[in-house]
Structure 1
Amino acid sequence: MLAHLDPLILARAQFGFTVAFHIVFPSFSIGLASYLAVLEGLWFATGRQVYMDLFRYWLKILAIAFAMGVVSGLVMSYQFGTNWSVFSDKTGPVLGPMMAYEVLSAFFLEAGFLGVMLFGMTKVGPRLHFAATLMVAIGTFFSAFWILAVNSWMQTPSGYGTNPQGQFVPLDWWAVVFNPSFPFRLVHMVLAAYLTTSLVVGAVGAWHLLRDRTNPAARTMFSMAMWMAALVAPAQILAGDAHGLNTLEHQPAKVMAMEGHYQSHPDGAPLVLFGLPDQEAGTIRYAVEIPKLSSLVLKHALDAPLAGLDSLPRTDWPPVPVVFWSFRVMVSLGLLMLLLGCLSLLARIKGRLYAWALLHRFALAMGPAGFVAVLAGWITTEVGRQPYTVYGLLRTADSASPLAGPAVAASLTAFVVVYLSVFAMGTLYILRLMAKPPQAGEPGLQPGAPIRTAGITPAPAVDPDRHLQPAE
């Protein structure tokens, strides 16, 4: 049945499927690498064993997530040549060097020092080992930097020209890399990675607190995760708002689809909370809306005019139903993250951070929310860019290779089968590791080898939130 579909649709589905699998692993490993750097830094500064116990606990999970991220990302580069050869040819002079910089600077940095993190504690000593951990954290950040620079240029191209062969060529590398949407998207994505990691760590901590609220490692990881959620969730909302205003300036059609504005509103646009977008009729059916609030959010004035999709040719409309709902999923989950952070602060004030079972269950339920929000945000960004691969310059229909439907259908089927089997097993193994409680004083990274503390005297295992413990 797949073989009879449009080859372009199949190629888009294949790339979308592989990216959806891939993006969850970097969004986790970026935040987790930084978390590990914080843990080892705290251990190095205080000598408290609980930080090293947590470091070893999460290091194994980072190694597996990193490996699955690498494997899931490799196949995407092949698809540029097999399914999107026209896109690769036209954008290669601009995007190719940036992709190479990502591999040569960021990937090699994080992949090389990850080996030292995993096997070098008893080989290089704690100071050099901590430096290796910092290099992995920095490498993951620079990987996000270059990948987002590539994708942002596709969203808001700048600093380019064209040669006689119709290829885009760089004229100003600073303008290419630091294109108009790049700073906003970099901040938004890195904060999303930190939030994703904090929710996972918080969920694992909550899981173990529900079973044993006296476990010091579970208490420490839960407390750290809730601090991150409380601090980063409001920052992410502010960053998302700034990103939205930037998108309105440079990609107005995407914002129209996000807001569900098929019609223009010269006297102030409503904020559509929910409804059923009808692409054919060009309207939102059964809309639940707040009058003029969209103009206030986007233009900071109740009566500010906002153009709708009716001001654009239909051939330039993105698929509104997909963008409309993915945006609402992302925003709804962001508000739930903010609620979790606020409840954790309330629990701290009341001294019930480790005793409030309802908070723990809420944190446990929010464990996957970061991944879902990242996927929803990615769908909003990429589907909202349609019908272009390079916004306003190169259409998706003109970017694909001359494809045969059966060939693309066969490869798509193979990807689905392999990904669902391999990555399901990897994810299951990670969940099994998370289900085990962190143990105090586990063996070092080398079997049976103690960790050399280089003169660091471990401090007593005192809970950092001991003053918040409920009276027994």
Structure 2
Amino acid sequence: MDALLLSRIQFGFVVSFHVLFPAFTIGTASWLAFVEWRWLRTRNTVWRELFFFWQKIFAVSFGMGVVSGIVMAFQFGTNWPRLSEVAGTVIGPLLTYEVLTAFFLEASFLGVMLFGWGRVSPRLHFFSTCMVALGTLFSTFWILASNSWLHTPAGYTLVDGIVHPQDWWQVVFNPSFPYRLAHMALGSFITTCFVIGGVGAWYLRRGVHVEAGRKMLVAAVAFAALTVPVQVFVGDMHGLNTLKHQPMKIAAMEAHWHEGEAGAGVPLVVFAVPNEKEERNDYEVAIPKLGSLILTHTMDGSFAPLTSVPASERPPVVPVFYAFRIMVGLGTLMLILAWISALQLWRGRLLQSKWLLRGWNWMLPSGFIALVAGWFVTEMGRQPWVVYGLLRTADAVGPHSAWMTALSLTVYVIGYVFVFGWGIWYLVKIMRTGPGSHDHVHDDGMHTPARPLSGADEPLEGR
């Protein structure tokens, strides 16, 4: 392994951890705004307890997202200095805009949301929660604008190999940005939705926190039944956009090696073992013409195969092919579970269906897995480019040696296992304890949590 491959592995490891926490906090912040709105409308104490419960989870996840984000920014300078040199004039301002909008907004209202219950008016507290949720969406906007520009650069001129922005409107709203923003935002909401539904179903199966579990599961079922189909539609539009601007990524996703006969269409490869050396698929199971129907919306449409470009211009087929199927497969299971659950909810049988409750338990981590798989497709699929068509990944890496990169990768792995291992353990502890365990009623009648990050007094092993 050389420094290039080790740097790519290190960046992939770090970004895989990082994408989980911001995505989860995006959905959790909006969920908190919804829960507090329900509390203000109904004054039902269960909604209040749910707010305090998910507030703890949000705070821990937010902290881990900030820590992992700092490491991400650090790597741009240490591992990929040429990227910063060539495209820093675009990436730098976009990340600065994120700080000036999202971080300032979140920092201004996060303290009020976490510590202000009973100290400010209910309306001001609800407003602060909404502003924190809006801040997470602003953050998503600027991060996706920066990442999308790397895939579909626009609004720039190249002078002596350095990018110079010319039209910031085109830079921000580059060709792939709207699709990526919608796809990522929906993915974040759906990820949180299945966590909420999974936790609620877990409580119902064990007969604890029944009313809170019922509210969480019903809300998750209703939201998933509506948004998962929308995500399928957005994903289709995103695929068409990718086919237009990054055709080799689509060819790798479909393991489409060779041009077929005229009018034969492109089959949909359900399963195969891509053989990059021989430029073919082994053990292929495919449905004729379905690939053309999905990607060109015609039965006999075609698109460029992998062999239309030299091997050096192709992304790695095997990881992109399998990661895409993991993402789509999990999305299909989400849709099936959401619609069946919605039907049973309409019939009044959802809460009595043990197999559906167990299904929501099993699908709790599905959003996180789909998110990581989707990012693998996105980032590996643009190879060998780090800025598509402008800067190759091999030319963006720094002059550091392989052993130094291996050492830093080892430190990252050990540090992440320790820090995020404990963080995830603590989140599981809070979830298993459930809502209402650490609330205190004061003499003035206000119901506030003892500490926003307080977990359970009982040990995790005893639950």
Judge same fold: TM > 0.5, yes or no.
yes
Q: CA deviation at 1:239?
A: 0.7
Aligned length in residues: 446
Question: Percent identity of the aligned residues?
Answer: 51
1:365 matched to 2:348? The reply is: no
* 1:217-241 deviations in Å (ceiling 9; x for gaps): 1111111111111111111111101
* C-alpha distance in structure 1 between counterparts of 2:127 and 2:18, whole Å: 27
- In the alignment, the residues of structure 1 paired with residue 276 and residue 83 of structure 2 have an alpha-carbon distance, to the nearest angstrom, of 28
Counterparts in 2 of 1:83 and 1:440: CA distance versus 1, 3 Å: closer
Please give the alpha-carbon distance, in whole angstroms, between the structure 2 residues aligned to 1:294 and 1:104: 44
The one of 241, 256, 263 equivalent to 1:261 is 256
Q: 2:290 aligns with which of 260, 285, 293?
A: 293
Q: CA RMSD in A?
A: 1.5
Deviation (angstroms), 1:415:
0.2
Structure 1 residue 163 and structure 2 residue 131: aligned? no
The answer to whether the 8 Å contact 1:49/1:441 transfers is no
Does residue 39 (structure 1) correspond to residue 35 (structure 2)? The answer is: yes
Deviation string 1:134-188 (CA, Å, 9 cap, x unpaired) is 0100000010000000000001111111223x21111000000000000000000
Q: Secondary structure at the match of 2:157?
A: strand
1:109 pairs with 2:105: yes
Q: Which amino acid aligns with 1:169?
A: H
Select which of 280, 283, 286 maps to 1:283.
280
Structure 2: where are the runs of 5+ without partners? 449-463
Structure 2 residue 76 is the aligned partner of structure 1 residue 67: no
Following TM superposition, by how much is the alpha carbon of 1:440 offset from its aligned partner in structure 2, in angstroms? Answer: 8.4
Check conservation: 1:126, 1:452, Cα contact below 8 A: no
- Aligned with 1:410 (options 395, 407, 411): 407
Distance in 1 separating the partners of 2:54 and 2:152: 37
Q: Contact conserved, 1:30 with 1:194, CA < 8 A, in 2?
A: yes
Q: C-alpha separation between the residues in 2 aligned to 1:276 and 1:307?
A: 20
State the alpha-carbon separation in 2 of the partners of residues 194 and 258 from structure 1: 25
Residue matched to 1:462:
none
Residue by residue, what CA displacement relative to the aligned partner does 1:327-357 show, whole Å, maximum 9, x if unpaired?
0000000000001111111211221121111
Structure number with higher relative contact order (C-alpha < 8 Å, ≥ 6 residues apart): 1
Match of 1:307 in 2: 304
- Matched with 1:227 is 222
- Structural mapping, 1:1-400, within 5 Å: 5-164=1-160, 166-212=161-207, 215-265=210-260, 266-267=262-263, 268-400=265-397
SS in 1 for 2:132: helix
**After the TM superposition, which segments of 4 or more aligned residues of structure 1 sit over 6 Å from their partners?**
none
CA contact (8 A) 1:213 1:355 kept: no
Q: Residues 266-287 of structure 1, C-alpha deviation per residue, up to 9 Å, x if partnerless?
A: 4311100000001111111111
CA contact (8 A) 1:260 1:272 kept: yes
SS at match of 1:276: strand
Using structure 1 for the length normalisation, give the TM-score. 0.92
Aligned-partner SS, 1:443: strand
One-letter amino acid matched to 1:278: N
